[in-house]
Amino acid sequence: MRVSRLYVSVNLSLDKYVELDEENGHYVRAVLRLKKDAEIILFNGQGGEYLCTIFEVSRKLVMVLVNKWLDRCVESLLSVTLGLGISRGDRMDLSVQKAVELGVNGITPLLTERCVVQFKGEKKTQRSIHWQKIVQHAAEQSGRTMVPVVADIEQLQDWVGRQNGLKVFLDPYADLTLLDIAPIDMKVTLLTGPEGGFSEQERNIAKAAGFIPVRLGSRILRTETASIAALAAVQMLWGDFGKQAVLI
């Protein structure tokens, strides 16, 4: 039987008791309905994970005992950073979730000319928290022991100049494909646009910052499809989807 996994933002060490926070405690008690002595896996994003047992379950608290360190890693040798043009609602949520499942190392939501989402007051902070929670749950589900960080929302023109490795932006009208290029020091930065794609000015800004326009086949993909397809493609070409990662 599969043992449930939870992310906790605390230090973990053997033979120590950990009190779960309110959200995780509710999940263990009311959703998983685990009882005393049931097993659960905890990880804190620092690598590896810990096999634990439920020590106490009540309305006030859920306490677990850390029993065993599990030295496992499912991270790709390819480091992938994603600059993600902000799209509406569920499309953005889906892109963030699937990026984590596909091994992304970091995500920056980007404001672009054709971005249809408006952020006023505290909404920007709230959305960042929302996306980070999606990342956390995706890491739990996919078995990752590292939790990617969703960076603060930025303007595209401010973000592109600070990136490194192989820098690629997705452009359905580009001449090159991913087969024509290769990662630098096993690092790739992917830039994907919002609904409606990049403006001509943004395409020029990206190219001036060293980003290479690349197409994914002959069809125009929706924004959420493009990021998923690109991440899967780079993991197949240079990451851990193949039998053996290729060191460049």
Instruction: Return the pLDDT at 1.
Output: 65
Instruction: Return the pLDDT at 73.
Output: 86
Q: Delineate the domains of the chain, giving CATH numbers in brackets.
A: 5-70 (2.40.240.20), 79-238 (3.40.1280.10)
DSSP string for the chain? -PPPEEE-SS---TT-EEE--HHHHHIIIIIS---TT-EEEEE-SSSSEEEEEEEEE-SS-EEEEEEEEE------SSEEEEEEE---HHHHHHHHHHHHHTT-SEEEEEE-TT------TTHHHHHHHHHHHHHHHHHHHHT-SS--EEPPPEEHHHHGGG--SEEEEE-TT-SB-GGG---BTTEEEEEE--TT---HHHHHHHHHTTPEEE--SSSPPPHHHHHHHHHHHHHHHHSSSSSSPPP-
* pTM attached to this predicted model: 0.89
List, for residues 198-237, the tens digit of each pLDDT value.
999 999 999 999 999 999 988 888 989 999 999 999 999 9
> Would the pLDDT of 144 be above 90?
yes
